[in-house]
Amino acid sequence: MKKALLVGINNYQNSPLNGCVNDVILINAILTQRLGFKQEDVKILIDNEATKINIENQLKQLVANVQNGDTIVFHYSGHGSQVPNNRVGSIEIDRKDEILCPVDLNWENVLRDNDLNIIFNSVPSGVKPIVILDCCHSGTGVRAQFYNTKVGHFKNRYLQPPIEVYMNDPIFSVDISGSLKQFDLIDSAKNLFRSLYKRIFSTNSNIVDTNNAQGNTVLISGCKDHQYSADAYINNKYHGALTYVLYEVLSLSNYNISYKNLITQVNSRMKKYKFTQQPQLECKKDFFDINFLK
């Protein structure tokens, strides 16, 4: 069986996007017209349907009753962000979690990357989960619009967390009450180091061998975790840059291309369009040479 959940959100109250619903329409066409998915096995949530509870419930439905040999796809197109991670035993060097931003985003009850990992690691070892995230994983809050000769206006798919999210977390807060002498420069430097560590020392490769860290899940993300993903006007229509370029590469390869070659060619075409984001492939090394959704 092949099943999919597609989520696209344009209708954010304070920072609307333009291309996310188009992304869902495009991915749905790819799955049902070229890759053997039945329309009744593809669940779609767009705009006001894409609440946190609905996304969580549909993710649980996606992984329910799957068996060895089944393929499941989760494609998310919308805003992303980061929040503090103060879990005991966390391996996140910068002490931040990447999150998805449902239409009813509540900063005190977010959908974290770790939540997705738990859901997809619950499936039997013979199931093939594919996750495609066309959103920002960046700490930057820039939402400026840009223009160049190849691509029209675009903006980041990133939502800046309220300052309270960080002020209420002991890792990122600084106590300056009473006297400026209480400002701890050492702790502040540590916090800055955590924030920058991933950017400086993370792999330069766009292909990451996760070993067993995320089970058999293949993740294709729109950018590195310190970058932003573009919501762009491309060829007379708005799309996420990752989703549209993914479609171009799949079409040019007649939908017969390995994950490694796919992400390599996607990054090559990103440069052609003058996008600075670098999409990532993260999975076991054993999957690098397996064809996309095969």
Query: Which active-site residues does the annotation give?
Result: 79, 136
Question: How buried is 75 (Cβ within 10 angstroms: 0-12 exposed, 13-18 middle, 19+ buried)?
Answer: buried
Rounded to whole angstroms, the Cα distance separating 259 from 244 reads 16
C-beta separation of 132 from 209 below 8 A:
no
Amino acid at position 119, single letter:
I
Where is 76: in which H helix or E strand? strand 71-77
How is residue 129 written in tokens?
A: 């989960």
- Euclidean distance between CA atoms 82 and 199, whole angstroms: 14
Nearest to 84 by CA among 53, 110, 47: 110
Secondary structure letter of residue 109 according to DSSP: S
Q: Which residues of 87-110 are buried (b: 16+ CB within 10 A; e: fewer)?
A: eeeeebebbbbbbbbbbebeeeeb
